[in-house]
Amino acid sequence: MRVALLGSGRGSNADAILRAQKNGQLGKAEVVGIFCDLPHAKMLELGPKYQVPALFLDPGPFKTKFSPEREQVWADTLQAAQVDLVVLAGLMRVIKAPLLNAFQGRIINLHPSLLPAFPGLDGIGQAWRAGVPESGCTVHWVNAQIDAGGHLGQRRVVRTPDDTLESFADKIHAAEHALLPEIIARLSLELPSR
C-alpha cells in the first residue's frame, strides 16, 4: 500500500510513521512521499532523513483551504505517484472535491480529541478549557464535513491534577504517535488495492 503524508508543520506525526516504517511496524504500507503546503515547514526535512521524496506544493492564496485549481494539482500529483492511502498528518487545510473525489474512501486524518467531542481547530485547547477528565486522539476517514468521518480508532488520555496544558498536550501527542502508525498498518492489510 503506497502512502502519502500531507502536512503543514513540524511533522512529528509523519516522523512517528516513518520511524514505524523503518522499524518494520507499518504492515504492508510504504510511505512514497511527503507533501507539504508550506515551503519552509520542518516536515520537509524528514525526506532526506528517511530517504523519502519530500515536496512543497503550492496550496493557493488561502490560509485554511486550497484553491480549487491548486487542490486539483495536489490530486494529480498524488495520483501520478500511484498513492493508495492519503494520510493527513497535521495538514491545516480543509479538503474538498478534487482530493475527495480522487481518493474517495482513501483519506484518513488524525485529530487531537476524542471525536465527536472538540472537532475543528485546537482540539487539545478546547478539551483543556472545558476541564474534561480525559481526552485523547482519533483517526478517522475524511469526508466533506470537518472531523465527521467514520472512526478507525481512538486513544484515551487521562488528565491528572498535576497536568499543565503543555503536559496534557505532550501525552496526547504521544498517543497520536502510537495510534496513527497502528491504523496505517491495519489498513495496509484491510484496504483492497486500487
Q: What angle do CA 26, 71, 111 make, to 5 degrees?
A: 45
**CA–CA gap between residue 94 and residue 143 (Å, rounded):** 10
Please state, in angstroms and rounded to a whole number, the distance separating the CA atoms of residues 32 and 2.
6
Spatial contact of 152 and 140, defined as CB atoms under 8 Å apart: yes
Distance CA 194, CA 51 (A): 25
- In angstroms and rounded to an integer, the radius of gyration of the C-alpha atoms of the chain is 16
| Catalytic positions, written as ranges | 111
- For residues 178 and 114, what is the distance between their CA atoms, to the nearest angstrom? 15
The answer to whether 18 touches 43, Cβ cutoff 8 Å, is no
Report which residue type is found at 83.
V
Give phi and psi for 118, each to the nearest 5: 60, 55
Q: Under 8 Å CB-to-CB from 182, ≥6 apart: which residues? A: 153
